Amino acid sequence: MGSSFFFLCGCVDQASVGVIERWGRFERLAQPGFHFFNCFVGQCLAGVLSTRIHSLDVRCETKTKDNVFVHLVCSIQYRVVKENADDAFYELANPREQIQAYVFDVVRALVPRMTLDDLFEQKSEVAKAVLEELEKVMGTYGYSIEHILMVDIIPDDTVRKAMNEINAAQRLQLASVYKGEAEKVFLVKKAEAEAEAKYLGGYFDTIKDLGNSSKNTTIFIPHGPGHVRDISDQIRNGMMEASSAQIDQQ
């Protein structure tokens, strides 16, 4: 008497792992590819899990040490560990809800011990604490936590409005300081320019007087603000004016 076997076939996609059962009990994991299952011995493909990285954004509301209500947004990347896919398949029905619950626990235990300023400065420490807790817990369910990022910290609307007003006032105060400094520099430069112009005016008058007098042979070298760059030109001009005055007198 011949025996007959009844086979079914199934396909496991790339970046996935299949779970094969026999009579309702886990038998083995199936790698990506085409598989035959012997239904005569109760063998079947119970399910397929993706091993790709999944992303979950968790939004959690809590209160800081200085009584400011904040919303924290955590971005969590996780995946099924291929070798432990049977744990992920049988132990955890909804991994997203489980991850969210543990994020809530960690955040609400840690943030109330920090002020709002501390939270902004140490948000990476909060993310690290969440990562350590999730790695410890989710690892037992066949999941790996790849990365956690604290995407945003959003204070209560009234607090944000007050912070914006403070920042605006600080920017206005800083702009006023810069404007006052600029005006002060302008006034100093203007006074220096006027003093230099006054000094140079008196200096040129002296040179001219020397040129008009044939008895004067003393020449003054400038040493005040600005300094005259080309002394030789001024001496030549003074001598020419002196010669012209002598000719006029003759």
Q: pLDDT of 64-99, one tens digit each?
A: 998 888 999 999 999 999 999 999 999 888 999 999
What does the DSSP 8-state code read for residue 93?
S
Q: Name, in order, each residue with C-beta under 8 angstroms of 171's C-beta and a sequence gap of 6 or more.
A: none
| pLDDT on residue 205 | 62
Strands 54-63 and 43-50: unpaired
Residues 6+ apart with CB under 8 A from 76: 55, 56, 57, 58, 99, 103, 130, 134, 145, 147, 148
What kind of fold does domain 54-161 have according to CATH? Tetrahydropterin Synthase; Chain A (3.30.479)
**pLDDT tier, 246 (very low <50, low <70, confident <90, very high otherwise):** low
SS3 195: helix
Q: Residue 1 class from Cβ within 10 Å (0-12 exposed, 13-18 middle, 19+ buried)?
A: exposed
Q: Which residue has the higher pLDDT, 235 or 105?
A: 105
* Residue 86 main-chain phi, psi, to 5 deg: -65, -35
Query: How far apart (Å, rounded) are the C-alpha atoms in residues 220 and 105?
Result: 87
Instruction: Sketch the domain layout of the chain as residue ranges.
Output: 7-50, 54-161, 200-250
Q: Are 79 and 146 in contact (CB under 8 A)?
A: yes
Interval 117-129: pLDDT, tens: 899 899 899 999 9
Instruction: Look at 188 and 239; give whichever has higher pLDDT.
Output: 188
Predicted pLDDT at 203: 58
Task: Report the amino acid identity of residue 54.
Answer: H
- The amino acid occupying position 153 is I
pTM over 0.85: no
Q: pLDDT tens digits for 186-219?
A: 778 777 777 766 666 665 666 666 556 555 555 5
24: left (phi over 0), alpha (psi -120 to 50) or beta: left
Q: Tokens 């008196």 map to which residue?
A: 202
CA angle 199, 205, 207 (to 5 degrees): 105
| pLDDT the model gives residue 117 | 87
Per-residue model confidence (pLDDT) at position 1: 39
Strand, helix or coil for residue 225: coil
Phi and psi based region of residue 8 (left: phi greater than 0; alpha: psi -120 to 50; beta: remaining)? beta
pLDDT at res. 210? 58
Residue type present at position 250: Q
Per the DSSP assignment, residues forming a β-bridge with 52 are: none
